[in-house]
Amino acid sequence: MSALAELGSLGKKSRGGRPNVKRTYKDNRAAMVFLAPWIVGLVAITVGPMLISLYLSFTDYNLIQDPNWIGTDNFTRMMQDDRFWNSLRVTLTYVIVGVPLQLGLALAVAMALDKGLKGLPFYRSVFYLPSLLGSSVAVAILWKQMFGTSGLVNQLLAMVGITGPGWISDPSTALGSIILLHVWTFGSPMIIFLAGLRQIPGMYYEAAAVDGAGRATRFLKITLPLLSPIIFFNLVLQIIGAFQSFTQAFIVSGGTGGPSDSTMFFTLYLYQRGFGQFDMGYASAMAWVLLVIVGVFTAINFYASKFWVFYDD
């Protein structure tokens, strides 16, 4: 069961609990020993810092002087900050274009690979490898060269007589180059789809074929519904991950988010404000805005899932 499904089932069980039966917990002490590192981590590394960052978001703090309470100033400044809105737009574009493209490709390739294909392990490895390497600085450097004015892409285009633009130096194509890098890493959702396709009983397809259902019908009426929990799972995780993208934009733009802020991701702007200008209050406020946005997206996803995700149990 996936992490998401577990989270969902936790909620369900609590509603049907037995409030009157007094439980005895036989392993309380042992559990505290086994969980001690995790509990310390949860408090000191996760929850504590979260609360502190919530507090800092209402302060003016530069790491040297003590934090100074300024109420909601950071948030009102943010509302008037064009670069903030721009970074939000860039990140949303990246998420809304990049994630569906990546998942669509992952599903298409997974379906092509699923039919007891010869050489499946080879194809799977080749398609999967980029998603392991894609988050590295080295690949971002490669991308910077490839999509430069006289980079690999334009060299190849020149061979067929096309003069390509300077992809990453042109504000209208720079973000697209980075989205392409994201799409290139479709291998890991592909592996999840492959595993999911294996779970669909072959008799469904046989029965449908007997009834004269064509390819499209079989895909729409069998594959999609039965795969929908996995599509949902991929969607939620990839969206959360894509909102946090940082390395590629940072390296490709040399840390500037340029040209003309066209690759100024939300996280990159947050980094510049926090760790470039040491405006920690503003950076904390931005981090909380990010958390809320990611939370809202996830909540919408969960809500919408009621209408399209099909559980076969």
Partner 1 sequence: MTTESAPRITTDATPPVPGPVRERRPASTTITRRAGYAPSPRQRAKSVLKHAVLIAAAIIMIYPLLWMIASSFRPSADVFRAPGLWLTEVHTENYATGWNALTSPFGTYLLNSALVVLGAVIGNLVSCSLAAYAFARLDFRGKKWMFGAMLVTIMLPIHVVIVPQYILFSQIGWVNTFAPLIVPKFLATDAFFIFLMVQFIRGIPRELDEAARIDGAGHPRIFLQVILPLMTPALATTTIFTFIWTWSDFFGQLIYLTSPDVFTVPVALRSFVDAQSSTDWGAMFAMSVVSLLPVFIAFLVGQKFLVKGIATTGIK
Among 95, 107, 124, 167, binds partner 1 (CB under 8 A): 124
Q: Which of 306, 307, 312 lies closest to 8 in space, CA to CA?
A: 306
Residues numbered 2 to 61 that lie near partner 1 (CB under 8 A) are: 2-3, 5-7, 10, 13-14, 25-28, 30-32, 34-38, 40-42, 44-46, 48-50, 52-53, 56
Of the listed pieces 92-100, 130-138, 169-177, 301-309, which binds partner 1 according to CB under 8 A? Answer: 130-138
Task: State whether the Cα torsion 58-266-192-309 is positive or negative.
Answer: positive
How far does the chain reach from its first CA to its final CA, in angstroms? 13
* CB contact at 8 A, 91 and 243: yes
Residues 285-304 that bind partner 1 (CB under 8 A): 286-288, 290-291, 294, 298
Site string for partner 1, 166-185 (x = CB under 8 A): ------------------x-
Kindly state whether residue 106 participates in binding partner 1, applying the rule CB under 8 A.
no
252-271 footprint of partner 1 as x/- string (CB under 8 A): --xx-----------x--xx
Give the interface size with partner 1 as a residue count (CB under 8 A): 121
DSSP secondary structure code for residue 42 in this structure: I
E strand or H helix at 141: helix 137-146
Q: Which of 78, 90, 103, 109 binds partner 1 (CB under 8 A)?
A: 109
Alpha carbons 146 and 167: distance in angstroms, whole number: 9
Cβ proximity of 295 and 50 under 8 Å: no
* Rounded distance between C-alpha atoms, residue 178 and residue 181, angstroms: 5
Binding track, positions 76-95, relative to partner 1; x by CB under 8 A = --------------------
Min dist. Cβ of residue 61 to partner 1 (A): 8
Residues numbered 188 to 247 that lie near partner 1 (CB under 8 A) are 188, 191-192, 194-202, 205-206, 209, 229-230, 233-234, 237-238, 240-241, 243-244, 246-247
Tell me which residue of 312, 233, 225, 289 sits closest to 91, measured CA to CA.
289
Region near partner 1 per CB under 8 A, out of 74-82, 88-96, 119-127, 168-176: 119-127
**Residue-wise burial string across 207-227, b where 16 or more C-beta atoms lie within 10 A, e elsewhere:** eeeeeebeeeeeeeebbeebb
The CB-of-298 to partner 1 minimum distance in angstroms stands at 7
Q: At its nearest, how many Å lie between partner 1 and the CB of residue 82?
A: 21
DSSP 298-311: HHHHHHHHHHH---
Give, as ranges, the residues between 146 and 165 that touch partner 1 (CB under 8 A): 146, 150-152, 155-156, 159
